[in-house]
Structure 1
Amino acid sequence: MRVTVLGAGSWGTTVAALMCRRDHEVLLWARNPDVATEVNQQRSNEAYLPGARLPARLRATSDLEEASGHAELLVVGVPTGAFRETLQLAQPYLAPWIPVVSLGKGLERGTHLRMTEVIKEVLPGRPAAALTGPNLAREILAGQAAASVIATEDLSVATALQREVSRGVFRVYTHHDVVGCEVGGALKNVIAIATGMAQGLGVGDNTRAAVMSRGLAELTTLAVAMGGEATTLAGLAGMGDLVATCMSPHSRNRHVGEQLGLGHSLEEVLGGMRMVAEGVRTASTVVELAEQHGVDLPIARTIHDVVSGRIRAADAYRGLTRAVPAGHESEPG
């Protein structure tokens, strides 16, 4: 199979490398021509995966027409802010029947759409799926065991994609609840900023555990309000992804929160990062969705107040600790 991966960040490059090892003809599209040249000539992508060696079979290009025309399976790993535009630019060169898999973990600002919904709008008639879960790229590329979920309404398509993406100790499970999987992947980035702030501020493990637990409740609340299933958020796409993103030092969103907790401004933090922390953009969209669906998400609301400059991280964390329910409130089962 000819596979195209759009987006040569850490996760896009990792997925391309995984699929390349299944003997597919994999073409990785990089917006930056220098990244494509490095992949082709040096078998590396030092800006996003320092020290990693990429498969000799993996090819890269900065030509979107070439990359799109190559695809029998399209995987989209660009940041959510560039997701629609990239698909629109690729659309004239894509075959009409190919499945499209989103690696994005965020929501489109303004429209509030999930990435599979964006795919269906821009590329109608093509099967759309989301690959999500606790997927820290460096660990997976290094061969450490991990698991993920491929979510699409048509489980026959999910099963076919499962076979193509699974590799060795990287196991992929199928799931029909696309809403739950995508909402979990988006909102966990916001909660990861909150737990990173805890690290930067030096609060205790008990507080971090409380924020993560109540964060999981917020993931579940919003997903169910949007039509997802509560049980989905207890699995890889919810709790699994949340734990990995909140705890790992490799997590971009956790890093943002930690630096905010240490007193740095958001502009300083983002200015020093090459990769996108989706939780910063997602926070405002999540708050808007909460208002639209009539649900209360106090942690997400507090993080939105921080990244929008309304309050400082230190003041926000006092609010976050108050977001943990008091004794008269019931814990969801």
Structure 2
Amino acid sequence: MNSKVTVWGNGTWGTALAQSLARSGHEVCLWCFVEEEARAINANGYNPSYLQDFQLSPLVHAAHALQEAAEFSDYWLFVTPTQFLRATLEKLVPFYTSHVEIANAAKGVEISSLKLISQLMEEFFPGAAYTALSGPSHAEEVIRNLPMALVSASRNRESATLWQKLLNRETFRVYTNPDVTGVEVGGAVKNVVAIASGLLHSLEIGDNATAAMVTRGLSEITRLGVALGGRPQTFSGLAGIGDLMVTAYSRHSRNFRLGEMIGRGMTLNEAAAALGQVAEGAYTVKAVKKLSEKFSVEMPISSAVHEVLYGRLDLKDALQNLLTRDPKPE
């Protein structure tokens, strides 16, 4: 089915998703927070700030005005950084109708409220049809039309299937899943483990150590996800181990590179400036620390990342603390 879709956010992932939808024949309105970026996309077909080397399909039209983007379609796909999402949703409330199907492809937990994105959507659009999209999906590869797969998760089977049909094609495989909470927790917390992977990589202490840390990181993700209501089996799928693998080992991963740069001597602010984009894990780790304390979930790796990023502990001391913890059953 060829449809109209509004993509909220023209960062790397939003731009790649807009292009992917257009490849399937859908008309796309790509909402840009910065008006000049919308004008540039409409004038020459290139995003001036992200994935600048790729010409976008003529089916992708950019807009800066909220009303224009909202009224373009009844399919809203959010790719807005989590810590800025609330401000966007507040402005969209007047334009929302019950006909709108909402999906989200960004990852994170709101620090101020400790809410998952599904909970934020329910706050502003009570009862709305909502779907979480997550999985191993670097924008830099999706824009090149390389094969990938992700999960369309909704408590409403029809909504999960709708977004599956909208997005699925030969090089963009989509599976459905009813576990919204598990999918969102997996997508959010894997960014914290990816920062830990980058930190370890900076120390050049070998693949064995990194593999052990990432595996134990998956255990932390699973413990927190189950405590919040997710299903254990979700974390062995695309939104769990799949997304963790691609984020913890790839040079495309902003979170991995952030950790690596900090491990080699940059401050958090310096590393974030060098990246030029949001590394969501640096924010998510604050919420994860609070959630782990609130639900009494043991998350030593995430806690160590928090202490290193925010200057309370030296990286080598943090590693020593992890290595000398009392041994226990796996």
Shorter-chain TM-score: which interval? over 0.9
Partner of 2:228: 226
Contact 2:134-2:184 at 8 Å conserved across structures: yes
Q: Which of 93, 107, 129 pairs up with 1:127?
A: 129
> AA paired with 1:234?
S
Partner of 1:139: 141
The question of 1:209 aligning with 2:193 is answered: no
> How many angstroms apart in 2 are the aligned matches of 1:322 and 1:262?
23
The question of 1:67 aligning with 2:66 is answered: no
Partner of 2:303: 301
Q: Which of 161, 165, 168 pairs up with 1:166?
A: 168
Contact 1:207-1:321 at 8 Å conserved across structures: no
> How many angstroms apart in 2 are the aligned matches of 1:46 and 1:253?
23
Alignment of 1:255-270 (within 5 A): 255-270=257-272
> AA paired with 1:134?
P
The question of 1:19 aligning with 2:49 is answered: no
So what's the TM-score if we normalise by structure 2? 0.96
Higher alpha-carbon deviation: 228-237 or 35-44: 35-44
> AA paired with 1:205?
D
The question of 1:330 aligning with 2:325 is answered: no
Percent identity over paired residues: 38
**How big is each residue's C-alpha offset from its partner over 1:150-192, in whole Å with a ceiling of 9 and x where there is no partner?**
1111112111110001122110100001111000001000000
Alignment of 1:79-228 (within 5 A): 79-228=81-230
**How big is each residue's C-alpha offset from its partner over 1:54-100, in whole Å with a ceiling of 9 and x where there is no partner?**
11211001111111121210011110011111011122123332111
> How many angstroms apart in 2 are the aligned matches of 1:320 and 1:279?
20
Q: Offset of 1:249 from its aligned partner?
A: 0.4
Q: Offset of 1:322 from its aligned partner?
A: 4.0
Q: In structure 1, the residue corresponding to 2:275 is in which secondary structure?
A: coil
Contact 1:5-1:77 at 8 Å conserved across structures: yes
Q: Which of 299, 312, 329 pairs up with 2:314?
A: 312
So what's the TM-score if we normalise by structure 1? 0.95
Q: How many equivalent pairs are there?
A: 328
Contact 1:28-1:61 at 8 Å conserved across structures: yes
Partner of 2:240: 238
> How many angstroms apart in 1 are the aligned matches of 2:324 and 2:38?
48
The question of 1:271 aligning with 2:269 is answered: no
Q: In structure 2, the residue corresponding to 1:272 is in which secondary structure?
A: helix
The question of 1:55 aligning with 2:54 is answered: no
> How many angstroms apart in 2 are the aligned matches of 1:322 and 1:260?
23
**How big is each residue's C-alpha offset from its partner over 1:217-266, in whole Å with a ceiling of 9 and x where there is no partner?**
11111111111111100010000000000011010100110001101111
> How many angstroms apart in 1 are the aligned matches of 2:271 and 2:317?
18
Which segments of 5 or more consecutive residues in structure 1 lack a partner in the other structure?
none
Contact 1:197-1:317 at 8 Å conserved across structures: no
Task: Indicate the RMSD between aligned Cα atoms, in angstroms.
Answer: 1.3
> AA paired with 1:274?
G
Q: Offset of 1:201 from its aligned partner?
A: 1.6
Contact 1:26-1:58 at 8 Å conserved across structures: yes
> AA paired with 1:293?
F
Partner of 1:6: 8
**How big is each residue's C-alpha offset from its partner over 1:280-316, in whole Å with a ceiling of 9 and x where there is no partner?**
1111111111111111000001111112211122332
Q: Offset of 1:271 from its aligned partner?
A: 2.0
Partner of 1:281: 283
Contact 1:20-1:26 at 8 Å conserved across structures: yes
Q: In structure 1, the residue corresponding to 2:108 is in which secondary structure?
A: coil
**How big is each residue's C-alpha offset from its partner over 1:87-128, in whole Å with a ceiling of 9 and x where there is no partner?**
111221233321110112100112111101111111123101
Partner of 1:44: 46
**How big is each residue's C-alpha offset from its partner over 1:37-60, in whole Å with a ceiling of 9 and x where there is no partner?**
222122222422132221121100
> AA paired with 1:260?
I
Contact 1:29-1:67 at 8 Å conserved across structures: yes
